[in-house]
């Protein structure tokens, strides 16, 4: 029976790679896009050569608690089940804390952390009732070690890890696993636009002397949601080339 995965932030570099990985693994993917951005989402869909039976575009503002509750309840009625939730939506609004605006703090927390509640909560009970499911939260190495100029981002990504551990304890006896993947620096289209000297500086900090490929992050997610990952829960899988070792 075909399994269905919901992915937030699906249009980004890592999100696109996860979508492609799960499609290759036989999942039908519900790919969320921000309210009013259908044209942009459709362009992404076409550029990746997805088919309608593989990927369904789904309008959702992950920062809107009420909208998420209503639209995800309707989605469950339409699809019958959601087997996998990948919380990948995220933004950055970097700046030193002394000068950080309250809005920059709120926007990052809302998009990166509150969204995890908004998207997971309407679907988690159903997963438990049917006796199985997977939740994977895309955190960050900076949620583990912290990063100068990213108090908002690091706080949100660290919060995702705490959320992962606590929810894993609730889901375990029902066969629902909850894990996090914490990427290090990854070669997304945005990173590719950086100046070569800036990229070289970043690579020099990484023991493996390179950035992760988006497909490497996607394969880590694919493993955690597969049958092979069924006995792993409450864990954070770091994919950072040795940048930070615990």
Angle at 92 between CA 88 and CA 94, to 5 degrees: 155
Query: Does residue 18 belong to any structural domain of this protein?
Result: yes
Query: Does residue 246 belong to any structural domain of this protein?
Result: no
DSSP state of 80: S
Of the residues 27, 153, 185, 231, only one is catalytic, namely 153
Query: Does residue 94 belong to any structural domain of this protein?
Result: yes
- CA dihedral for 201, 202, 203, 206, sign (positive or negative): positive
Residue range 4-27: average pLDDT? 96
Give residue 56's domain range. Answer: 4-239
Q: Please state which of the ranges 19-28, 109-118, 132-141, 198-207 shows the lowest mean pLDDT.
A: 198-207
What is the rounded average pLDDT for all residues in the chain? 95
**Number of domains comprising the chain:** 1
Query: Does residue 244 belong to any structural domain of this protein?
Result: no
Supply the CATH number for residue 186's domain: 3.40.50.720
Distance CA 21, CA 88 (A): 14
Query: Does residue 182 belong to any structural domain of this protein?
Result: yes
Task: Let me know if 153 is a catalytic residue.
Answer: yes
Query: Does residue 34 belong to any structural domain of this protein?
Result: yes
Distance CA 148, CA 160 (A): 19
Contact call for residues 10 and 16 (beta carbons, < 8 A): yes
Query: Does residue 234 belong to any structural domain of this protein?
Result: yes
Query: Does residue 68 belong to any structural domain of this protein?
Result: yes
Task: Express each pLDDT in 38-48 by its tens digit.
Answer: 999 999 999 99
Of the candidates 20, 37, 26, the residue with the CA atom closest to the CA atom of residue 4: 26
């Amino acid at each position: 029976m075909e399994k269905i995965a919901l992915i937030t932030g699906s249009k980004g570099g890592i999100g696109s790679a996860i979508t492609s990985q799960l499609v290759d693994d036989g999942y039908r993917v519900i790919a969320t896009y921000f309210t009013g951005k259908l044209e942009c989402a459709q362009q992404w869909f076409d550029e990746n050569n997805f088919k309608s039976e593989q990927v369904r575009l789904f309008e959702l503002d992950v920062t809107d608690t009420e909208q998420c509750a209503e639209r995800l309840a309707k989605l469950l009625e339409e699809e019958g089940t959601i087997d996998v939730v990948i919380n990948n939506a995220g933004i950055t609004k970097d700046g030193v804390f002394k000068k950080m605006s309250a809005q920059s703090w709120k926007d990052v927390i809302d998009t990166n952390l509150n969204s995890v509640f908004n998207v997971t909560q309407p679907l988690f009970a159903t997963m438990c009732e049917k006796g199985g499911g997977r939740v994977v939260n895309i955190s960050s190495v900076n949620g583990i070690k912290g990063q100068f100029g990213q108090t908002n981002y690091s706080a949100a990504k660290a919060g995702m890890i705490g959320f992962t551990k606590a929810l894993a304890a609730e889901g375990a006896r029902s066969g629902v696993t909850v894990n996090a993947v914490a990427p290090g620096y990854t070669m997304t289209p945005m990173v590719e636009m950086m100046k070569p000297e800036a990229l070289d500086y970043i690579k020099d900090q990484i023991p493996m002397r390179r950035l992760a490929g988006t497909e490497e992050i996607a394969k880590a997610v694919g493993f955690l949601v597969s049958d092979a990952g069924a006995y792993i829960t409450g864990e954070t899988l770091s994919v950072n080339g040795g940048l930070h070792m615990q």
